[in-house]
Amino acid sequence: MSADNRTESTLGFSSTRDDLTLCYGDLEASKESERKLPKHSSPYRRTPVDDNYCRVDFAERDQSQLMKTLLEAEAAANNAAVQLVSFKDTMDDEFEESHLSVTDTRQVSRQRGLLLEKLEAFKRINRSVRQKLKRLQEAEADRLAIDKQIDILLNKITQAESDNVNLKRDLNNTENQLGELMSLRRKEQESTETALQAGRTVETTRARLQGQLHLKEAENNRLTAQLRALERTLTEQKMQMEDLKAAITAQSVKMAQDKEALIKATHAQKQRAKRFEAAVDKCYAQLKEKEIELARALSERDSWRLQQEQQSEDQHGLVSQIELLKCHTTDLTARLQRERDELTTANLTAMERVERLSVENRALNSDNARIKESISVCEQQLAQCEAAQTEQSLLSEERQHQTQRHQSQVAALQTEVDDLRIKYQSLVRETEGERGRKDEEVEKARRGLLRRVQELEVYPELLEAADQSLSKSQETLGRSQKRSAEKSESVRLLQVQLDSQSERLKTSGDMRNSIQEANALLEEQITSLEKEMEVQHQENVGLVRQLAGQDEALSYGSRQLDQRSAECHALSTQLEAAMSHVSQQVSHVKGKAVSREDALQTKIKELEAEKGRRDSELKLLRQSMLSTENKFEVRLKDLQRSLDQSESHKQSIQSYVDFLKNSYATMFDEGVQLSSYHSYFLK
């Protein structure tokens, strides 16, 4: 390896590390900007107390997980860099110490190219992670803008509610004025009735007096005989007048008492109306609270459904990732087989060199004893290798039994998960049915309450029935809340069971993967040992047949061969470990990035749904405001019309009272004249 290649490798790796550090900095900047932004509070926004059932701060958790994954990727990249630098230094030292052949240099250059390709792939993945982080920041900024818009809309809603409260206050004032006008009208009607009764009595007395006067004028000749009768009639008339005066005074006292009773009754009716209005306001507030609780329950149900869908999608993604990893392992095994073939060719070339050395050193035939000793040592090594092979085969059989047991456990767990999923779906259906029935009951109760409120606005005597219906509706609401709480508790328990089962599945899958990897490593070791045994056997046969007196040269060549093979094997294992570690880190980062992207998409969908719901609520509020304004205008027109009618009726009553006053005045003037005439006649 040359200095240019060194600089290229180091530069390539440093670029990936810069990407990682930049991603971490961007994430910190996004956190700081999110802290600096103001947090608006609104009555429709959820608080941690309301969401203590199944929520933690989702954005901070995602950011902490992303930071962890980035730090892990950076640590993996640093480890890979250290291993690459050490590998490069060792290879440089070996190249400086010994002159390698062309095949060795090609193999090393090929391995170097593969390492550079892996590093480039890691760099590309790191860039994709950075782009996804930028998308996360943009989505976070969009979410903050949407929150600001929602706060503005909530402020508008509060203004509209204050306007509605003012309109209700004005309506109450107008209704109070109407009540006062009606009481005044009743008083005037009663006064006119009393005046009419008095006028009738006076007319009857006047008619009687006129008849008596006619009789007296006709009986002027018999006045002397009837003076006593006239005196008696006069005394009787005086008594009747006194009785009439007493009756008039009693009627006036009774009218005053009736007026006081009417005033007390109006005060009591006003107090009852105020109490009824307060009860109606309480009912409206309770209905609003129940609507808010229903909206929260619906939002929690939707979020729970989204979480379940996301978990199912994550499971499908894990299955696909497992299949990809299997394909990757098959590719790696094929590559390792190719590398082993290349190592065997290199060993054959080394054997050819040893044979050349043996041909050159045939003259050394004096060390047959050493060769025999070396043969015995080789036989001992063969025996040790066979024992190790048997142990490895036993271990592999045990591992296979363990894998079979784990597979059976995984199948059982899968069946349990399917059963739990079926139970969970049935519970979801039951909760949806219960939720629908509860919504229908709440809607029926709301309609009944509104109907009762309208009836009570016209007939205030139905307050007790409204209170009873309110208590019944509150009891039904409490029962439905208890049912929903029980159902949510059962759903939560099922969710916990599903989570535990998924964790068990994950752990069993990890154990299965580790066992498969260990089996693969054992198989590789067994094959390598078998190949080494075959090579050693061939070497021993060749040494016995051809190299009887060349023990020193053969031992020297065999030592070099063993050293080189051990070094190559160690380097290959290091490369395999580094490549597997890098691939695992890359797959881990990919999975985390995909999961974060899915979570962001679901969150964006939730925000869009919430925005649509807020828009629909605003539309409904506007429609209700328009309807209340129209009702208020109609009520004002009705009040104006009734005021005009009462004014005209009052004027007609006033004119009738004036007419009665004039008639009474004329009648009493005539009565005075008649009394003077009778007194003169008696004289």
pLDDT tens for residues 348-361? 766 676 566 666 65
How far is C-alpha 659 from the geometric centre of its chain's CA atoms?
A: 78
pLDDT value of residue 674: 46
Please give the mean pLDDT across all residues of the chain: 67
Q: Are 1 and 95 in contact (CB under 8 A)?
A: yes
Tokens in use for 390? 């048997």
Of the ranges 90-99, 459-468, 628-637, which is most confident?
Answer: 628-637
Query: Is residue 148's pLDDT more than 80?
Result: yes
Percent of the chain with pLDDT over 90: 0
Query: Is residue 55's pLDDT more than 50?
Result: no
pLDDT value of residue 307: 75
pLDDT tens for residues 279-308? 767 766 776 777 777 777 777 777 777 877
pLDDT tens for residues 559-598? 766 776 677 677 667 767 766 776 677 677 677 767 877 8
Please tell me the least confidently modeled range out of 114-118, 188-192, 319-323, 457-461: 457-461
- Top-confidence residue, 637 or 3: 637
Q: Mapped to the 3 state alphabet, what secondary structure does 263-304 carry? A: HHHHHHHHHHHHHHHHHHHHHHHHHHHHHHHHHHHHHHHHHH
Rounded to whole angstroms, the Cα distance separating 14 from 360 reads 52
Q: Are 625 and 164 in contact (CB under 8 A)?
A: yes
Question: How deeply is 657 buried, as exposed, middle or buried, from its count of CB atoms within 10 A (0-12, 13-18, 19+)?
Answer: middle
pLDDT value of residue 460: 52
CA torsion sign, 296 to 298 to 301 to 303?
Answer: negative
pLDDT tens for residues 162-192? 877 887 887 787 778 777 877 777 777 777 7
pLDDT value of residue 186: 79
Of the ranges 134-148, 316-330, 507-521, which is most confident?
Answer: 134-148
pLDDT value of residue 201: 72
Residues 31-47, mean pLDDT to the nearest whole number? 41
Whole-angstrom CA distances from 62 to 25, 127, 311 are 16, 19, 16
Query: Is residue 606's pLDDT more than 50?
Result: yes
How far is C-alpha 340 from the geometric centre of its chain's CA atoms?
A: 56
Predicted structure pTM score: 0.23
* Confidence category of residue 483, pLDDT binned at 50, 70, 90: low
Rounded to whole angstroms, the Cα distance separating 260 from 266 reads 10
Query: Is residue 423's pLDDT more than 80?
Result: no
pLDDT value of residue 368: 57
Tokens in use for 178? 């109407």
* Confidence category of residue 240, pLDDT binned at 50, 70, 90: confident
pLDDT value of residue 47: 43
- Top-confidence residue, 606 or 206: 606
pLDDT value of residue 171: 75
Residues contacting 358, CB < 8 A, separation 6+: 546, 547, 550, 553, 554
Query: Is residue 346's pLDDT more than 50?
Result: yes
Query: Is residue 670's pLDDT more than 60?
Result: no
Counting Cα atoms < 13 Å in the Cβ hemisphere of 397 gives 5
Query: Is residue 194's pLDDT more than 60?
Result: yes
Residues 589-616, mean pLDDT to the nearest whole number? 77
Please tell me the least confidently modeled range out of 73-77, 79-83, 387-391, 540-544: 540-544
pLDDT value of residue 353: 64
Rounded to whole angstroms, the Cα distance separating 259 from 487 reads 61
Place of tokens 């309110």: 470
Rounded to whole angstroms, the Cα distance separating 586 from 324 reads 13
Of 327, 324, 332, the C-alpha closest to 521 is 332
Residues 146-156, mean pLDDT to the nearest whole number? 84
Of 655, 631, 661, the C-alpha closest to 647 is 655
Residues 418-435, mean pLDDT to the nearest whole number? 70
Rounded to whole angstroms, the Cα distance separating 458 from 480 reads 32
Counting Cα atoms < 13 Å in the Cβ hemisphere of 529 gives 19
Greatest alpha-carbon span in the chain: 204
Q: Are 498 and 421 in contact (CB under 8 A)?
A: yes
**H or E stretch covering 613:** helix 551-682
Rounded to whole angstroms, the Cα distance separating 397 from 407 reads 15
Q: Are 498 and 417 in contact (CB under 8 A)?
A: yes
Tokens in use for 416? 């349990």
Query: Is residue 539's pLDDT more than 50?
Result: yes
Question: How deeply is 592 buried, as exposed, middle or buried, from its count of CB atoms within 10 A (0-12, 13-18, 19+)?
Answer: buried
Residues 400-415, mean pLDDT to the nearest whole number? 68
Three-state DSSP state, 223: coil
pLDDT value of residue 1: 41
Of the ranges 79-93, 167-181, 197-211, 375-389, which is most confident?
Answer: 167-181
